[in-house]
Amino acid sequence: MIEASVVIPGETLPRVALTAESVDLLRALWAKHGPLMFHQSGGCCDGSSPMCFAQGDFWTGDSDILLGVFDIALPGGDPQPIDFWMSREQFEYWSHTFLTVDVVAGRGSGFSLEGPEGLRFLIRSRLMESATPFV
């Protein structure tokens, strides 16, 4: 499992992680599409699935929060950072949860890059052990 870096000012614990299976899939997607990013869907189109895009294909703005940055590079390889974003409004509801991005067989959204692979990303969540509330 890989945990994202802590990027929210004042926080000390990561908020999101990747399973080994999701890391493998992301490395394959990176090889096909180049740099990647995630945006946690807010319920439109594909429920609340984490959506994977080529970096820059989904625009973020003031209404989004960067929850963390993963580095999926192989040991000794060049950095392969992947930002994980969520809408500010959705974060108000999920602010006390730790999110793990996993992958399962099946078809997800047509917008997320893993769809043609016959796989889909999904979120597994649990309450954070200790969280500094986001202000």
pLDDT of residue 3: 96
- SS3 of the chain: helix, strand, coil, percent, to 5: 20, 35, 45
45: left (phi over 0), alpha (psi -120 to 50) or beta: left
Residue 65's beta-bridge partner residues?
86
Q: What is the pLDDT of residue 107?
A: 78
Residues of the chain with pLDDT > 70: what percent? 87
Domains and CATH numbers, the chain: 15-127 (2.60.300)
Looking at residues 33-48, what average pLDDT do you find? Answer: 77
Residue of 58, 59, 55, 49 whose CA lies nearest to 22: 49
pLDDT confidence bin for 135, thresholds 50/70/90: very low
Burial of 75 from C-beta contacts in 10 A (0-12 / 13-18 / 19+): exposed
* Higher pLDDT pick, 131 / 77: 77
Cα radius of gyration rounded to whole Å, the chain: 14
d(CA 65, CA 78): 26
Tens of pLDDT, residues 52-110: 999 999 999 999 999 999 999 998 999 999 999 999 988 988 899 999 999 999 876 66
Is pTM beyond 0.95? Reply is no
